[in-house]
Structure 1
């Protein structure tokens, strides 16, 4: 057993090679052929990394012509049978409910090592794991489970727009170039928002040191004395300021967490589920807190005509348009019928194509049909 565990999965690589060779863009002569079954996000990211590392990559697809443009030019995109026959090592980048569609590849995969990169939908699900189910389907192959803690976003930042995927009914259509470039800049935009939040917090802490702020405070005190007011406490203003500061601090804290997890040294220590939760769920929470921060700042001034100078709305109303649009669009994708359809599309479903597959057990159906539109 120790000898088996120490044996490398990929043979044929020269040992003692410097790290500079990992930047090679072309496959090296004599390098083992790495096969990838599936053309999803993880498959594309993995293929790009393998090609960059100098391996010869062949990708198996049901429709090679459609998937050709999704992969690097150095990677060969062909049918699943040809990819399984040529490869020395095969990565199975297919969702577990579609494993049965690969049964016809059993003769070509006999005696080869299969690496299962899928993860279960539940943390502590009962019954066999995804790798065990794959091993049952391919008893003549050696099945290895890997990449549990590595997500496609860690390998390569890829675009993922739920609204367009719902409209098209598939996840395989390419986004326009402008949208593709925009979505791949999400990390940079997030870091810029964190920088702006930090500068805003520092500026707010420096307000008491400004002469204008001191003069404004003195003017308010003089006015209170002239009016004969003993107590200037206003419950509405106090609650407004408390809420304004509280949600602002929460937004800064969430953005700080997002910025820290964006560091390569930190992102490499979390698994794909944790990374997705922090960058996606907490990202929307940070956006919600920042939006509420602007709402509490404006309070009821949106309904006061005096604040519409030159017939223009207050600045905080203009700032709220974009984040509110994003949050409302995200809430629309949370509607059960829409979320269920989007989840099926991202797991390979297409509304125009039908093949039959077998689910593992009834208890793991999770509402999915036994006919897959893939």
Structure 2
């Protein structure tokens, strides 16, 4: 960094934390305050005992790169030093407080300086704590390339990672991002819990249909099918949009045509849907362990009975031995393998893990391993439920079965995947994804004389 000294205007929590962080990086820092004689910073933090605190004019004069750590409402105060700030680099670290214009653009309009937006995603705690577990990315934007490069170097010097976001016009988006609560999770979360609510209502409806209402079993035992079906449906919804996208590309014969908005949003929500699927799968595993009671032992065990005579005329069977039979073992094996596979998919989506994977490794885990997980889940459900489906003759009774409902989406996803693996579709799809454009029979072909030249296609000189 080419500055003589790093200036920090503002002696609040952020200004003090930034100063300490910069000093630990062996940078020379001077702080600016409207009333420097009453700023006894060493009483607040002993690390600031040797820090020089000047008035605003001297701080600006003594620094080339200045961190503006004051509230945006006080930016007008800096307009008094407009002439001195003309060639200075001002770094706006504030977050969104106005609708019409970003704080960084407002600072530029008030000072005319070389304004850079940066560090607004960091808190004072993040600057002072080495054990800070959040992102170390610092989003930076500015219209002055040289000033932006200086701030990016400063970011590296104090131990963070700069991310170039372009011109200063991006400042409003950078400021707004810190005030939104999980913006990418709103839609997938509403869908996941909405689906769970629908399945939960269906479990209640089933109890009324069977005229056997035992509310004492509902908090866990009767809720478990809804939890399982939600998990399976969400997992299938992770892979269904990718197949729709493949058919969309085959239809248009290229990969450049933009997906419809609903499909584009669905594609971008797959990670969130997958993690919610893993959440409900974990919930299902815990419930299944807790409610493994006598009424469902028949799914897993063969039971040997011994006959005991009571009095002289009554003989009753008493269970004497429990042992797994092969169907129960296979069903549990499929369930365990599918859960372990789903756990691997969830872990590989963590940013610190996914950034260490190359594209081929990430694709293998999230695509091939994902379809394997879906197949294992389907096998787990089929082994459990297909024995009972064969006894049902009425369609409505079949739809009352949660094991049957759980299989519908996974079967659809795997069937579409098998169709896309047919050579007549797989080969063209791979060519399209490599950038080739293919003509399809249903696309309109322009007719006319090939020798005619369209005047609209000629660029005037």
In terms of Rg, which structure is larger?
2
Tell me which of the two structures has the higher relative contact order, counting C-alpha pairs closer than 8 angstroms and 6 or more residues apart: 1
